[in-house]
Amino acid sequence: MKKRMQFFGGAFVLILALSLVIFGSASAAEMKQMQANSYIAMHEVGQETEEMKDMKDMHGMNTMSAMHTDMDMHHMHVMMDHGLSMATEGSNLVMLADMKMAPSLDPLTLEHGHHMMADGKEMIEHTMSGHEMKSMHMAGHGNDPLMKYTHELGNAMMDYVNSVENMSMEGEMSGDMMTMHHMHILINHAVNMAAEGANLVMLGQMGMAKGVDKGSVEHGKMMLSDADKLLSEVMKGKAMQEMHEKGIKMNNAMMAETHKIGAAAKKIVDLLSEMPK
């Protein structure tokens, strides 16, 4: 019986091939319909080829492929967030060392701070232009909305990291200069909070731990909101207003730099808060 079904299935495929030779090239739609008809006929005699299985699973495979691509990009976002956190913490260590409050530890603090900034920056750069990213572009995902978002986020992160990396540390670390560097530390902390919050949101949205996913998302969103509030307080709050009233405004190089860093930080926090699922 099995041999008989295989014979009928094979005969039908042979007839289909001969018809293509005899009648010439069919249109794409006609060929697709003919192929579908052959699959139906072969299924009726109980024979299911690998090609038939592929056709049945095609929609599911496309869906899974899209999900896999999105998951890849969210893993990239996690790595970028980590690189950003490394850079902000490194920047804070550099500023701490330049405050010269612990001479025996300042050199080590300064060295490690620069090392963290360099490694964090390298991680963001590698994620944005490494083999994995190139492979996704070659696979045709360059115009995906999530891919465009990923590059926008990466560019915003690089702008911020370059700004804190090139921050001037000249001048006496006292008075107004000390106040502005404390602002920079708070801005770095807000960016770090946003990065960690975004990672918690993404982790919860992956749906791998049903019991804690909701809490992960909620806490992540809270961190993002708190980061935005902290950043707003630093850039518009009492301390900033008092400095402006004293005449320390945008014509002051360090104040101009502070506002530049604040604006770059705001862009990152906004992007992380609006990250697509």
Per-residue pLDDT of the chain (277 residues; tens, 9 = 90+): 544 444 444 444 444 444 444 444 444 444 444 444 444 344 444 444 454 455 445 444 444 455 567 788 889 999 999 999 999 999 999 999 998 999 999 999 999 999 999 999 999 999 999 999 999 999 898 899 999 999 999 999 999 999 999 987 766 666 888 999 999 999 999 999 999 999 999 999 999 999 999 999 999 999 999 999 999 999 999 999 999 999 999 999 899 999 999 999 999 999 999 998 8
Token code pair at residue 169 = 């540390």
Token code pair at residue 271 = 């992007």
Give the separation between CA 181 and CA 196, rounded to whole angstroms.
Answer: 22
Give the separation between CA 48 and CA 151, rounded to whole angstroms.
Answer: 44
* Whole-angstrom Cα Rg for the chain: 29
Tell me the whole-structure pTM to 2 decimals: 0.75
Q: Which residues of 75-114 are buried (b: 16+ CB within 10 A; e: fewer)?
A: ebbbbbbbbbbbbbbbbbbbbbbbbeeeeeeeeebbebbb
Task: For residue 19, give the nearest of 31, 6, 1 by alpha carbon.
Answer: 31
* Cα separations in angstroms, 223 against 73, 83, 154, 193: 22, 18, 20, 6
Give the separation between CA 274 and CA 228, rounded to whole angstroms.
Answer: 12
Give the separation between CA 28 and CA 219, rounded to whole angstroms.
Answer: 52
DSSP class of 249: S
pLDDT digits (tens, 9 = 90+) for 185-203: 999 999 999 999 999 999 9
pLDDT digits (tens, 9 = 90+) for 132-164: 999 999 989 889 999 999 999 999 999 999 999
